[in-house]
Structure 1
Amino acid sequence: MEYNIENEKVVFNDHYKMIKASVTYDTFSGNRIRTKRLAFERGDSVAVLLFEKETGTILFTNQFRYPTCKNNDGWLLEIPAGSLEKDEIPEECIRREVLEELGYRLTSPNLINTFYTSPGASTERIFLFYAEVSENDQIEKGGGNSEEDEDIQLVKIPTSEIASKIPEMKDAKTILALQWYLLHKVSS
């Protein structure tokens, strides 16, 4: 099956971009569809599930998220995450983000999976990692990047409480990471 993209143009460009294009693609019945589509060009991101060995906890960020206010969820518990900069490799990006957000030095992030956040609307992929840290790996205060108006709180949740906390979580990447943890680390 094949597709063709024509007349792709930026129709909105601020902090993020919106792109519009004419798209033609094959159907499963052998026909072709020609239509117009929009794509939210957000760029790729990284996220990491962090396990702190001495305390037996998973490390989370708690921070304000403007888009979630529409549903009365101003602050969300999430795993550390951030946006890839141009030509940055995901492993370096997650190291930078963890240091910035939580103050931990990250040495060996292991890639779990790469996935789209909302494939019908956004080009964003998330590179999801797992890493273990020590209390001694916290070498800075964290709290986020003040130049980006971030105010991030470190939250530690014992692994024994993770299964009961999943229904309270509102962030998809965090839910996926915690489910992965329960399947691959707790049950093994």
Structure 2
Amino acid sequence: METKERVRILKTEVLSDDWYVLRKVTFDFQRRDGAWQRQSRETYDRGNGATILLRDRKTGNVLLTRQFRMPAFVNGHDGMLIETPGGLLDDATPEERIRAEVEEETGYRVHHVEKIFEAFMSPGSVTEKLYFYIGDYDGSMRVSDGGGVEEEGEEIETIEVPLQTAMQMIERGEIMDGKTIMLLQYAALNARSGE
């Protein structure tokens, strides 16, 4: 039996429609023993997104960003997260969006990007699916200072470090962003396998 045959949505309420959309969904779910159970869950819909790890194959460096994140701040972090560039799709294809985000955030215009996988990052409450990319960069691709879009409240710093240093930053708790850790681990694993 397909999952969609085990779910009966009874009611969807919009709880907030400000920055993104928070909904409460009441539904019946058919358990494996055949019994139907009434449940309700809140879903936060912010759209799907894309992220990329930029690497310089000649130097072994990766290019990351640092910016303020309020949700991390209110959870006890200083809020300045080191991340891979990325953003919401906003009706663009994942590849179009990631190219635009890289240029906005870092100032680099990348030529070739490779999709490596897709993942739900917080499926218990957030609808967002991320498209993960890897791409090459070097100094000749720099077309602007980057820094993000000021009108969107962005103030983004770029950080260039060797891949090994980035891995150590994960161990020291300096890099705590899930998507960034996933991409760095992908790069480290593939560097060892001779990619």
TM tier relative to shorter chain? over 0.9
Query: Gaps (5+ residues) in structure 1?
Result: none
- What corresponds to 1:41 in structure 2? 45
1:165 to 2:172 alignment: no
Mapped pair 1:77 → 2:85: no
What is the letter of the counterpart of residue 88 of structure 2?
Answer: S
Greater displacement, 71-80 / 88-97: 71-80
Q: Percent identity?
A: 34
Amino acid at match of 1:52: D
Residue 52 of structure 1 contacts residue 135 of structure 1 at CA under 8 Å; is this kept in 2?
no
1:101 corresponds in structure 2 to: 105
Deviates more, 1:24-33 or 1:61-70: 24-33
The answer for unaligned runs of 5 or more in structure 2 is none
Asked whether the 8 Å contact 1:166–1:178 carries over to 2, the reply is no
Aligned to 2:161, the other structure's residue is in SS state strand
- Structure 1 moving runs of 4+ over 3 Å: none
SS at match of 1:163: helix
- Measured in 2, the distance between the counterparts of 1:150 and 1:178 equals 23
* Aligned residues of 2:163 and 2:188 also touching (Cα < 8 A): no
| 1:19-38 paired onto structure 2 within 5 Å | 19-38=23-42
What letter corresponds to residue 139 of structure 1 in structure 2? V
The TM-score normalised by the length of structure 2 is 0.90
Kept after mapping to 1: 8 A contact 2:85/2:105:
yes
Q: What is the TM-score of this pair, normalised by structure 1?
A: 0.93
Write out aligned runs for 1:9-20 (5 A).
9-20=13-24
Q: Could you tell me how far 1:138 is from its partner in structure 2?
A: 1.0
Please state how far the C-alpha of 1:6 moved relative to its aligned partner: 2.6
For residues 1-188 of structure 1, the aligned pairs below 5 Å read: 1=1, 2-70=6-74, 71-85=76-90, 87-167=91-171, 168=173, 169-188=175-194
1:95 deviates by 0.5
Q: Counterparts of 1:49 and 1:36 in 2: how far apart (Å)?
A: 37
1:22, 1:149 → 2: CA distance?
A: 35
| 1:46 shift after superposition | 0.8
Q: CA RMSD in A?
A: 1.4
